[in-house]
Structure 1
Amino acid sequence: MLNITLINLFSFRVPLIKGKSMRTALKEKGLLEDFLKKHPHNLASKYNLYAQPFAEPMYNDLDIEYYGVISIGTPPQSFNVLFDTGSANLWVPSVYCSSYACSNHNKFNPSQSSTYQALNTALSITYGTGSMTGFLAYDTVTIGGIVDPNQMFGLSETEPGSFLYYSPFDGILGLAYPSIASSRATPVFDNMMNQGLVSQDLFSIYLSRNGATGSVVVFGGIDESYYTGQINWVPVTTQGYWQIAVDNVMINGQVVACSQGCPAIVDSGTSLITGPPSEIPTIQQWIGAVNSNNEYYINCQNIPSMPQVVITINGIPYTLPASAYVRQTNGQCTSGFQSMSLPSAQGDLWILGDVFIREYYAIFDRGNNMVGLAQSV
């Protein structure tokens, strides 16, 4: 979704390891050794026998955005990209871009890559903040130790406005479903799955707090060191965004929003928790946030006595203490809730952005179309 604020369901339990790879299944049945003898290495790779989870570190930029380094082309050209579960396209600036936003970022040069293949299909994407236009092409993309050949990606030609100029990342790597990919481009994770590059058809995200290091996206696996307790699995209700159903939002035991249930998306590309303009002001009032020019301020001294906000998903409470939903920057405290109108066929969407994901390790399971949530360490 990429809605970055700059400074100014049905849930049930399943075993931890889901979607066994063929290697694991054959080994459990005592057939792995015989299979490897009968089949050449290229066939074995196709069936995902050697794929392993790979962790891609992410930088934490003031708890506002999380991004990591990938490379595109041969030899590799490096880019910082925001890993965004709220969009589905990979794109980076190109040498064909003359926009202000491209002037201070790395730009992909097709003439310097021997594996580049032109496609020349037009591409246009608009986010909650920022936009781009350009075209699509193919090349090898390397992420966290995974070499992803013939990956479709976008090369920007325009990046209007100043937002992307001030962004620490060069481009965006979308991790949502292919149904929302602009110009029908194949998303990176879909290409990984199709080529058997991941051991499980899922990825997971841990976001650090207070600007600390340690944020990571794990492709093809779940890392127990990033959470405590059990994982609660929530079905994806619409396969576009990572959309789930929320029961309600409560404060001090009272339902204050989403009283009839509401659709929500789990979105690493949005900094805050957003909801309909008809409901978020009620939450701001309950937590004591005061509106000043559409920015909701909080007295920092009140944080220890402020209430918890509980987002309930099929009876499972996901608790957010004030330390999680209050943003403290340069001696000022602001609310981590924001009004945003995002209509959908199921009603106005809520966005569970980084404020939520920092508290709950999130697993995005394409093999079973579920989101797993567990208390972050």
Structure 2
Amino acid sequence: FLYFIGMTKIAIFLFGALCVASTAAGTVTVPLYVDGGYMWYAGVDVGTPPRRFNFTVDTGSSDFLLVGTGCPYDSCGVAPAEQYNASASSSAQPLTCDAAARAGLQCATCVGATRLCGSNVTYGGNIEESFALVRDVATVVGGPGARTVVGDTYAINMGPQAVAAQRLRTLRALLRSKLRDSGVPDPSGMWGLASKSLVSAGYAPFFDSLVAASAGALADRFAVAMTPTGGKMTLGGSITPPEGFSYVPRALPEDFYRVEISDVAVGGVSLGLPPATYNDPGIVDTGTPTPTVPQAAFDALVRLIRSHCSGPNATALHGVCDVAANASVLLGGCFDYTDDQVEAFPTISFKLPASGVLAAMLEYRPQAYLIPQYYCESPTQRSFALQADAHFTVLGASLLQQYEVLFDRAGRRIGFAANPLGQP
């Protein structure tokens, strides 16, 4: 699977294949599956004959990638029998550098004796994935299909994060047995749903190809509703009626799904930082498991939560008030909690304006931000699902679980509605 921590997206691919979708008039409903409460993924049939693979649903990137034949197991984490084999697909057309140039694509390198068009993508500045471009047929199971470009991944360099990644592998069985029981194999691919401008090779992302191939039958929008046990992605529409969403404009440039964030508050009290702090940029990203805020905002948020430990209205926050500051749950400490102890923590709010008016208030309740984390020693322990980043404010998956999020690309807006599938 592809596992991400904040904007440092630590990528480890494990196996893929799943069952998906059902169609309704003008829309396609795609079941989502989840691994350990961290990554949500869907199934797509690729090649001829079709072979089913699972793809992490990521609105924070745009490439459509699969671990390909020959990608080393030690770094890519996918058994050879589960890898994409372009040579076994009669519809696959590997793109040489010359063919790619004629198609207006950009190659970072020419791979091998056949000079295949090679490209790469870096997640969070730490994980580089290298792949060759292949045109092939891809079909959302039970839904639409299109001829599209598949990134045939042949190498993943995890760089300085390799040690952490190896630990994730050892915890995978524990997470799966304790945190989920879907029986669905983990993803071996990445379905990037953001804009073409993020694709360094210049090809159209998979969802763009689906919309184009539908000749108007599939609207240029999709919605995601995630839950701790799975969820649904709706292509061309949403579960919630359009009038049931609170909308914010999609901020420019249209690469990520950028939004303007005017303030962050803890228990209704503002962090007191200028809005520019949160918009370098602020994005909506289903592929990042937990939200992030810039370091200055994170430090202010930690101070404000700690302030609940003293004063006339003091609250005994377990893991904050009863431990040394450097051992706090807010800084990566792991603790067992009762329901009452969780409920004692304040709600964190993200304010999103539209034309100077408050359009949406995204509330991050303690039940959603105090959750099991991969680095905790026991699956019963919880830690703080919010991290610091150098620049990005990321509205990540553990926050987004509380909502159905509508990515209305045609309308250049993003909508938020109460999650019709329930909240964590």
What TM-score, normalized to structure 1? Answer: 0.78
Contact persistence 2:45–2:141 (CA under 8 A): no
Query: Is residue 295 from structure 1 mapped to residue 338 from structure 2 by the alignment?
Result: no
Residue number among 367, 370, 384 corresponding to 1:323 in the alignment: 367
Residue number among 270, 280, 286 corresponding to 1:255 in the alignment: 270
Contact persistence 2:263–2:273 (CA under 8 A): yes
Q: CA deviation at 1:216?
A: 1.5
Q: CA deviation at 1:2?
A: 6.7
Provide Cα deviations, 1:13-71, integer angstroms capped at 9, x if missing partner: xxxxxxxxxxxxxxxxxxxxxxxxxxxxxxxxxxxxx9731111111112111112212
Q: Quote the residue 2:65 is aligned against.
A: 91
**Aligned partner of residue 250 in structure 1, secondary structure:** strand
Q: Quote the residue 1:279 is aligned against.
A: 297
Amino acid of the structure 2 residue aligned with 1:327: I
| Count of residue pairs the alignment pairs up | 323
Contact persistence 1:55–1:144 (CA under 8 A): no
Structure 2 Cα separation of the partners of residues 125 and 2 of structure 1: 15
Amino acid of the structure 1 residue aligned with 2:403: Y
Structure 1 Cα separation of the partners of residues 5 and 232 of structure 2: 19
Q: Quote the residue 2:347 is aligned against.
A: 308
Q: Quote the residue 1:16 is aligned against.
A: none
User: Where does 1:4-15 land on structure 2 (aligned, <5 Å)?
Assistant: 4=5
Provide Cα deviations, 1:122-142, integer angstroms capped at 9, x if missing partner: 111111363310211100001
Query: Is residue 336 from structure 1 mapped to residue 351 from structure 2 by the alignment?
Result: no
Contact persistence 1:4–1:64 (CA under 8 A): no
Q: CA deviation at 1:219?
A: 0.9
Residue number among 82, 87, 98 corresponding to 1:111 in the alignment: 87
Q: CA deviation at 1:371?
A: 0.7
Provide Cα deviations, 1:91-147, integer angstroms capped at 9, x if missing partner: 101113235234534211112111111113211111136331021110000114234
Instruction: Specify which structure has the higher proportion of strand.
Output: 1
RMSD: 2.7
What TM-score, normalized to structure 2? Answer: 0.70
Query: Is residue 223 from structure 1 mapped to residue 239 from structure 2 by the alignment?
Result: yes
Q: Quote the residue 2:207 is aligned against.
A: 189
Query: Is residue 127 from structure 1 mapped to residue 118 from structure 2 by the alignment?
Result: no
Q: Aligned pair in 2 of structure 1 residues 359, 194: CA closer, same or farther (>3 Å)?
A: same
Q: CA deviation at 1:223?
A: 0.8
**Aligned partner of residue 145 in structure 1, secondary structure:** coil
Question: Percent identity of the aligned residues?
Answer: 22
Contact persistence 2:240–2:417 (CA under 8 A): no
Query: Is residue 372 from structure 1 mapped to residue 372 from structure 2 by the alignment?
Result: no
Q: CA deviation at 1:310?
A: 1.3
Structure 1 Cα separation of the partners of residues 236 and 141 of structure 2: 11
Q: CA deviation at 1:287?
A: 3.1
Can you give the 5+ residue segments of structure 2 that lack an aligned partner in the other structure?
9-23, 96-115, 173-185, 307-319, 374-378
**Aligned partner of residue 243 in structure 1, secondary structure:** coil
Q: Aligned pair in 2 of structure 1 residues 61, 319: CA closer, same or farther (>3 Å)?
A: same
Provide Cα deviations, 1:181-221, integer angstroms capped at 9, x if missing partner: 12112101111122226531100001002xx24x1111111
